[in-house]
Amino acid sequence: MPTPIEFYFDFSSPYAYLASEKIEALAARHGREVKFKPILLGAIFKVTGGAPLTEGLTAKGAYSVHDFARSARFQGTPFSLPNPFPIATVTAARAMLWLTRELPAHAAHFMHAVFRAYFADGRNISEPAVLAEVIRECGLDAERVLAGAAEPEIKDQLKAQVEGAIVRGVFGAPFMFVDGEAFWGHDRLPQIDRWLATGGF
Q: Is 49 in the site for its own copies (CB under 8 A)?
A: yes
Distance (Å) of CA 190 to CA 27, 74, 79, 94, 194: 12, 14, 21, 30, 6
Q: How many residues bind its own copies (CB under 8 A)?
A: 28
H or E stretch covering 62: helix 59-75
User: What's the closest the beta carbon of residue 21 comes to its own copies, in angstroms?
Assistant: 17
Please say which residue, 133 or 187, places its beta carbon nearer to its own copies. 187
184 lies in the binding site for its own copies (CB under 8 A): yes
22 interacts with its own copies by CB under 8 A: no
Using CB under 8 A, which of 22, 50, 65, 163 touches its own copies?
50
For residues 191, 188, 108, 143, the Cα torsion angle rounded to the nearest 10 degrees is 160
Distances in whole angstroms, Cα of residue 193 to Cα of each of 21, 31, 32, 199: 15, 12, 11, 10
Strand, helix or coil at 38? strand
Residues near 171 by Cβ (< 8 Å), separated by ≥ 6?
44, 48, 50, 184
Task: Decide if residue 191 touches its own copies (CB under 8 A).
Answer: yes
Q: Is 55 in the site for its own copies (CB under 8 A)?
A: no
* 66-85 binders of its own copies (CB under 8 A): 66-67, 70-71, 73-74
- Kindly compute the dihedral angle of the four CA atoms of residues 82, 85, 90, 93, in this order, to the nearest 10 degrees: 40
Rule CB under 8 A: is residue 62 a binding residue for its own copies? yes
C-beta of 83 vs 198, nearer to its own copies: 198
Give the binding site for its own copies (CB under 8 A). Answer: 48-50, 58-60, 62-63, 66-67, 70-71, 73-74, 166, 169-172, 182, 184-185, 187-188, 190-191, 194, 201
